[in-house]
Homo-oligomer: A and B are copies of this chain.
Amino acid sequence: MQREKKYFYFELIYQSTRSHARVGRIHTPHGIIDTPNFVAVGTNATLKAIDNNIVNDIGLQLMFCNTYHLMLQPGTAIIKQAGGLHSFMNRPRPIITDSGGFQVFSLAYGTVKDELKSKGTKKLDNGVLSITEEGVLFRSYRDGKRVLLTPESSIQAQKDLGADIIIPFDELPPYHIDPKKLQDSLLRTHRWEKRSLDAHLENPQQQAIYAVLHGGIDKNLRRQSCQYLTNLPFDGFAIGGSLGKNHQEMFDMLSYTMPYLPKDKPNHLLGIGDLTSLEPCIKLGIDTFDSSHPTRVARHGQLLTNNGTIKILNSCNKTNFQPADPTCPCLMCTKFNRAYIHHLFKAKEITGLTLATIHNLTFMVNHMADYRESILNNMI
């Protein structure tokens, strides 16, 4: 049954008997994504500080690119003219793009963190000009031009980009929101997602489309969102919206949300990829995670290892001539020692950012392979 669309389907390899953790394979037109897996974020069609050739060598199976940024620079028409995102950025493996909605709204409300800090007092700033049933009118951060983003225009942009997995247009309500407003937002998001799906189905173009489940941390709304969206012919399900103000709220929300998702389709947790969250989420059955966290902290000199995070700028690394992680197969760990990386960061050399990014990405790729191995051995 899952093979009805041969260009995209989820293959279950193993279901743990100890938890909801599962090992699978997402088949796409650009190859396989083994799950559970980490999805690195290359906002502008590149990860920061490393080129797509290295990313491919490291073995990253799915990269996340941001439609909002690419719409504004270089513009999706140019990427279409280049033959799509894979060709433009020279990535032979799978790509996922988002709808642009998340960026528009997070620019408006600030980050989730900012919004939490403001306790709901932060209002839409003037980046977002209006939100109507039609869509969102906002001002480009690049040239000040007014841009109308609608379900249809977001899908069109994602058709131009041509990623393997696309995402319907949704509204990202803030964490602090009046319950009635959250309910209204959910219903509008559902209408927008349905319009996105319809626009997509007019020309599937061998792309898959994941619904985005909303409802914040309201149990009833999450259930309502799952019930509505899983009854539509989406190819997978992403868990979006507000995920709660701390890890526990997120785990609770996932615990009551995950059972509503169909087992024969892949799911994705949007924007989460810190090491603490991974295992509990995997045990709840999450297949893929995207996060800019591992690559961002790399640029601040935080090197991820199985024995904790190395802060390479710490002075204890000044005369440590051992590799950051002797068990790591990456370029940084096999060719350079801690003292040298410490020096590169002290001297503010770009090379340090690149090497640390290579390391953290390699770590994440291997870390997820380890989780798959553990599940296959029924250890988690």
Q: Which of B340, B343, B351 meets A73, CB within 8 Å?
A: B343
Q: Is A7 an interface residue (CB 8 A)?
A: no
Tell whether A89 is near chain B: CB-to-CB under 8 Å: yes
Question: Is the C-beta of A45 less than 8 angstroms from some C-beta in chain B?
Answer: yes
- Flag the segment in A48-56, A157-165, A172-180 that touches B: A48-56
Residues of B within 8 A of A349 (CB): 44, 46, 48
Q: How large is the interface on A (under 10, 10 to 19, 20 to 34, 35 or more residues)?
A: 35 or more
The answer to whether A350 and B48 have CB atoms under 8 Å apart is yes
| Copies, count | 2
Once A78-B318, A89-B340 are accepted as A-B contacts, the answer to whether A47 and B346 lie under 8 Å apart by CB is no
CB atoms of B78 and A344 under 8 A apart: no
Q: Is A222 part of the binding interface, using a Cβ–Cβ cutoff of 8 Å?
A: no
Contact B319 A81 (CB under 8 A): yes
- Name the CB-closest residue of B to A43: B347
Q: Is there an interface contact between B88 and A347, defined as CB atoms closer than 8 Å?
A: no
Q: Does A194 contact B (CB under 8 A)?
A: no
A316 cross-chain contacts in B, Cβ below 8 A: none
Bound form: Cα–Cα A321–B344 in Å: 35
A140 contacts chain B at the CB level, 8 A cutoff: no
Cβ-defined contact, A73 with B344, below 8 A:
no
Residues of A within 8 A of B (CB): 44-53, 69, 73-74, 78, 81-83, 88-90, 318-319, 321, 331, 335-337, 339-340, 342-344, 346-347, 349-351, 353-355
